[in-house]
Amino acid sequence: MYHTRCDIARHIRDMPIMPIMKKRLFLAFTLPETLTEQFSLYQQKLAKFEELKKLGLRLTAKENLHITLLFLGDCEEDKIGQISGTVKKACQEIAPFPLEFSRMEMHRYIWAVYKNSASFEKLKNILEVELLGTISKKSIIHTTLGRIKREGGKIGLPPAGTVDREFTCGKILLFESHLRNNGPVYSIIEAFNLNGK
């Protein structure tokens, strides 16, 4: 039993502070299964490329191939409901839309790059304003196939080969990223269908 206000204040002060639980979140589109397989075959070509081996090539795990729409970073767990509501509202404004593969590109990353999409950009901008309070520069829409640890000048990449050129983006996924020593592991928190007209 506490006898004075000071006793109560001291008890409150000495109570352990519970850490705020945060999750590392991002919004993304997954790829059609056939395109995932085609990119995985291309990654196997890259893995045999001696020039890339010397630069410390690290390939993205096949199950992690995706197209990032918006990286949200470390978010408080109790904000996920608010994020979900914002994404659902944005989905009412955008209809499913096509994306078209353009080329392979390399700098510090190896990207499968897609052609510009007005629908992708509009959706990203809506979500940026509502969730981050800002609009970033225009996106280079891409899937990261691998990362390069060391700079090594320009290296010609092998041709892409057979790749499905176009597919439809119709569902946004909210992912949590769990960082591990051997690479990130992604888990799906929620899925949202694009249902605009």
Domains of the chain: 29-71+80-193 (3.90.1140.10)
Q: Which residues pair with 26 in a beta bridge?
A: 71, 175
User: Residue 31: what residue type?
Assistant: L
Four-residue CA torsion sign, 29, 35, 36, 42: negative
Point out the residues that are catalytic.
66, 142
Q: Which residues of the chain have pLDDT under 70?
A: 1-19, 152-153
Q: Is 4 helix (H, G, I), strand (E, B) or coil?
A: coil
Q: Provide the pLDDT for residue 5.
A: 55
Q: Provide the pLDDT for residue 73.
A: 92
Q: Provide the pLDDT for residue 179.
A: 82
CA angle 121/123/126 to nearest 5° reads 105
Q: Provide the pLDDT for residue 21.
A: 82
Q: Provide the pLDDT for residue 52.
A: 87
- For 29, 87, 89, the CA distances from 191, given in Å and listed in that order, are 10, 10, 13
Between CA 83 and CA 100 the distance in angstroms is 28
Between CA 110 and CA 65 the distance in angstroms is 12
Query: Are 169 and 120 spatial neighbours (Cβ–Cβ below 8 Å)?
Result: yes
Between CA 47 and CA 159 the distance in angstroms is 14
End-to-end CA distance of the chain: 63
Q: Provide the pLDDT for residue 15.
A: 57
Return the HEC string of 39-78.
Answer: HHHHHHHHHCCHHHHHCCCEECCHHHCEEEEEEEEEEEHH
Sorted by sequence, the CB contacts under 8 Å of residue 58 that are 6+ apart come out as 146, 147, 148, 149, 183
Q: Which residue has the tokens 């080329």?
A: 103
Going by C-alpha positions, the residue among 61, 39, 194 that lies closest to residue 117 is 194
